[in-house]
Amino acid sequence: MDELVERIISIINQREQNTLFLSCRTPSQINQGISGFLYNKHIHLTEVDILFLERFIKKDDQDPLVKWLYQSYDYDCSLTFELAFSNTDLIPNELFNECSVKLLNNQGKQYFLFPNKVITYQKIAMLTQNDILLLAANQLVTDLAKDRLQEKKVIVVEKDASSTFRRNLMKKN
């Protein structure tokens, strides 16, 4: 009996480390049903375009990949989407607020968007130069947070009043 328990614990520990990589353009793994979830804690989807993001947000049950990815939440999987486009203006806010998805650009930098009106040091303390902070037009950043963003060389993309994004590093005022 102890051998069986050890084997199960080993499989569970291995699963925690495993990542299943799929392409959004050729999602062959979804035909295998739940086996991908049983052996992989993390699902990494590459070549994700804006049309797929829209279907994902709308929980389009006609799209087999979307349906399969939502099923992964039942198995406590984490999702990472590697975007195939660079225009951050096209990234829907719902992905950060309603969907539990990690978003990366094609260079592996992770996007972060916080719903708070004021972004504090506490919110951004763990961000690094491998992260991109998206700011809405009406969000404010405390001076201490600005200092930290500049110190860590975090890329900040601000949404201006005309809803366009411009890339810059935080400047001290």
Q: Tokens 């009043």 belong to which residue?
A: 161
What proportions of the chain, in percent to the nearest 5, are helix, strand and coil?
Answer: 40, 25, 35
Q: How far apart are CA 110 and CA 126, in angstroms?
A: 12
Burial class (CB in 10 A: 0-12, 13-18, 19+), 78: middle
Q: How far apart are CA 142 and CA 23, in angstroms?
A: 39
* Confidence grade of residue 158 (pLDDT, cut at 50, 70, 90): confident
Task: Tell me if residue 34 falls in helix, strand or coil.
Answer: coil
The reported pLDDT for the residue numbered 29 is 65
Q: 159 and 130 in contact (C-beta within 8 Å)?
A: no
- Percent of the chain past pLDDT 90, that is, above it, reads 65
Angular region, 155: left φ>0, alpha ψ -120 to 50, beta rest: beta
Strands 155-159 and 165-168: antiparallel
Alpha helices in 18-135 (DSSP H): 35-39, 50-57, 64-72, 94-97, 121-124
Q: Does 103 score more than 90 pLDDT?
A: yes
Q: Tokens 């260079």 belong to which residue?
A: 107
pLDDT tens digit sequence for 60-81: 999 999 999 999 999 999 999 9
The reported pLDDT for the residue numbered 127 is 95
